[in-house]
Structure 1
Amino acid sequence: MKNIKLLTVFVMLFLLAGNTIFSQNATKKGFAFLELYTSEGCSSCPPADELMGRIQKQYKDSNVYVLSYHVDYWDKQGWKDVFSNAANTKRQYDYAKFMEKEPVYTPQLIINGKIDYIGSQETAVQNGIHSALSKPAVTEIALEANQQGDKLNLNYNINKISKNNRLYVAVVQKSAKSNVKRGENANRVLSHFQIVRSFNSFALTGNPKGNVSIFLPKGFNPKDFEIIGFVQDMNSGIILGADRAIFTQNLL
């Protein structure tokens, strides 16, 4: 009888430990952070842009984040992309160094800073998203935003910080259309989604909580834009965690 009681106690402790571990793992959700490098001057890019729009709609309000960076190296090929930015090109080249993959190309899609895909290949991209979502995030981040005119104040809370981590905050325009007059996409009206309009970088000093401020692009409003923050390991380029900012107050 004594042995039976001891066995019963052992089983109960084992089940309790197992439930505790399961509960801890269940709270660590996976995420997929998609960064598309695109251009209005590239004839291969519109299908990738449209795919990002479908993905954004499919995974709306989930742990899937889409950012489209318009690069500037196509601007001398007959059409200047109105959304292009040299900083976007630099970020793409930084990834080329991280992943040891050169030359860069469009449409290139990078998921969680780890693996790149041709941005228009839907099956491969969807598989990449599912794979990313199946792995728990290394870092959890929460953002609260307060708009004051053309300025945005952000409170962040990050559960885990290393000395080589940085916080990035992107102001993302959800959609736009462009009437392209020249270049490879001449006489086409192109649809764009999740366009990076402002990109900001902040050092993390080890304090899990903090406040940063950014200036907002002209025409910003919480309905047509969103604020996406993420933590990146600057040694490897890997994205450790991401979140959409919650607006706590809106003073226009």
Structure 2
Amino acid sequence: MKTTQISIVAALVVLLLFSAVLASRSIASKSSTERNIKGDGFAVLELFTSEGCSSCPPADELLAKIQKEAGNRPVYVLTYHVDYWDRLGWKDAFSNSDYSKRQYQYASKLGAQVYTPQLVVNGKTEFVGSNESATDYAINSALKGTPEATLSLHGKIQSGKMALNYQLNGNSDNAELVIAVVQKEAITKVKRGENEGRTLAHAQIVRQLYSFNLEKAEKGEVNISVSEDFNPNGWEVIGLLQHPKTRAITAATKVVF
């Protein structure tokens, strides 16, 4: 074989090897929400964040990415804007003391500190909300699990009110039904505080949070209020079945209208 032919063959081999490496890296880089994960589980991602926190935007961006990639998989993203940053230069318009209280409840049960951005998965584990590898692992593990119960919710809107009919199956004794009214996206120009001058994009913002003690009722109806600008295109309602003592979430679903 001539030298020129050998050189061409060698170049082709190198090119094929390089392409194979790139392909393997591409596959490995896919997040857990993009993979075909087998299992009957679900993943509820609760991010505690604030517009006044300079380390929060990367976590907000990660959760927005996960929400976009989730598709029809049972991955539920909720972002709570806490209020304890409001006194430090910038008042977050989405903040609520109820969300700070919820975070403190998790910290107490999980033996964790309170900080932002903090991500809690299925009420059972917590870590820094911008940690993509930890988030992927937690989603993967949760989706492979077997839920203790199932929950279905059907809603009807009328004059600023929403009637929610629920149906429970499985282990639901003494559970709480938690209803989160979620604005899918928003943009804020921050004028003061740690993020001064930045334009922040938000996703899956919890605007209202309700909790109902169901005791042993397997089906029934609860009623909540919704804002005047609520619509199924820009908003959604997510329901959680949560143990009041351990704070573990045993079922989750979106409201069907």
Same fold per superposition (TM over 0.5) = yes
| Counterpart secondary structure, 1:126 | helix
Deviation at 1:207, TM superposition (A): 1.9
- 1:153-164 equivalence runs, <5 A: 153-164=163-174
Q: Deviations over 1:90-118 (max 9, x none)?
A: 0000001111112x000000000011021
Match of 2:67 in 1: 56
Give me the identity figure in percent: 50
2:98 matched to 1:98? no
- 1:201-240 equivalence runs, <5 A: 201-240=211-250
Match of 2:178 in 1: 168
Deviation at 1:165, TM superposition (A): 1.1
Instruction: Give the aligned CA root-mean-square deviation in angstroms.
Output: 1.3
Selected match of 1:194 from 204, 207, 226: 204
Cα contact 1:34–1:66 (8 A) shared by 2: yes
State the number of aligned residues. Answer: 220
Q: How many Å separate the matches in 2 of 1:125 and 1:79?
A: 28
Q: Deviations over 1:144-192 (max 9, x none)?
A: 0111121111000010354431001110000000010000000000000
- 1:73-112 equivalence runs, <5 A: 73-102=84-113, 104-112=114-122
Cα contact 1:30–1:132 (8 A) shared by 2: yes
Match of 1:46 in 2: 57
2:145 matched to 1:135? yes
2:28 matched to 1:36? no
Deviation at 1:205, TM superposition (A): 2.7
Letter of the 1:217 partner, please give it.
Answer: S
| Counterpart secondary structure, 2:140 | helix
Deviation at 1:244, TM superposition (A): 0.3
- Unpaired segments of 5 or more residues in structure 1? 1-26, 248-252
Letter of the 2:106 partner, please give it.
Answer: Y
2:81 matched to 1:70? yes
Deviation at 1:60, TM superposition (A): 2.5
TM (norm. structure 1) is 0.85
Q: Deviations over 1:196-231 (max 9, x none)?
A: 001001011312111011000231111000010010
TM (norm. structure 2) is 0.83
Match of 1:120 in 2: 130
Runs of 4+ in 1 over 4 A off after TM superposition: none
Q: Deviations over 1:32-74 (max 9, x none)?
A: 0000000000000001001111000100232000000000000
